[in-house]
Amino acid sequence: MKTFISHKKLNNELRNSEGSLGLVPTMGSLHKGHISLIQKATANNTNVIVSIFINPTQFDEKQDLQNYPKNLQNDLQLLQNFPNILVYIPETNDLYPKRIKAKDYDFGKLDKIMEGEFRPGHFNGVATIVEKLFTIFYPDFAYFGEKDFQQVIIIKALVEQQELSTKIISCPTIRENDGLAISSRNQLLKEGYRKNAAIIHNSLLEAKQLMKSMNPSQLEKTVAAKFFNAEGVDLEYFKVLTNDSLAERKKFNKAEAYRAFIACKIGEVRLIDNIILT
């Protein structure tokens, strides 16, 4: 394992490398979900970069940026299990040399719903940093977790819009024993609130059963009603959309796949999740 704070030095390291290059972008505080992405990347590529960078332009609230969990020492210890990877740990000015500002993108409705509605500007920040990483390193493949499925769809749109050559590989969500999607934010849950978080995955599983007898709108309303009296849980949205285009439908169509999405606050910690329904 080699670490770099400069993208120029990392590119110099890769200059004479042969074979494919995989990229796993992270914001650190690594967990089993990240490790599964790195395992897939290292299994399928000769060279792998793991980036650790908390990107300031994708946070719509300064407090959220300040509170985001950080544990670089632990991250590097975990990454020692991958002796051949290249770890990119830049300072902000290596990626934002002039201004810390996101680009403006046009993703149509994709970034106006769900996370885009509740976190204005978030996806401009995500797309900005991903485009920077893709055009600095030109990876053949980049690996993202399906827990952030809306993000995956938007990054695929970014690649198409900007005519980038990187192929996006989406990887299944890794879960705790009770179904909660593993997230860096889970460690911020205060004692006593962790058990309340089980409602997130349970509601998604319930949606999968109820869709057999309901249309998407009925399904959304029925599941949302379960949260009215849920202790310590504040539902932000529950949506049922098409899997490929994140479009709303009045009825389910056997020719399409659908996915259920949820975001809620457990105490003060905001968590998101989703599952494929069909």
- Residues 143 and 169 sit within 8 Å (Cβ to Cβ): yes
Active centre residues (catalytic): 34
- Annotate 216-262 with three-state secondary structure: HHHHHHHHHHCCCCCCCEEEEEEEEEECCCCCCCCCCCCCCCEEEEE
Q: Which of 109, 90, 132, 57 is nearest to 242 (CA)?
A: 109
**DSSP structure class, residue 194:** G
Strands 233-242, 258-266: pairing is: antiparallel
Q: Which of 239, 228, 198, 275 is nearest to 116 (CA)?
A: 239
**What is the amino acid identity at position 191?**
E
Cα 251 from Cα 146, distance rounded (Å): 25
Tokens of 211: 């869709």
For residue 266, the SS3 value is strand
Cα 223 from Cα 276, distance rounded (Å): 16
**What is the amino acid identity at position 44?**
N
Cα 140 from Cα 114, distance rounded (Å): 30
Q: Taking each helix axis as running N to C, give the angle between helix 7-14 and helix 122-137, from 0 to 180 degrees, rounded to the nearest 10.
A: 40
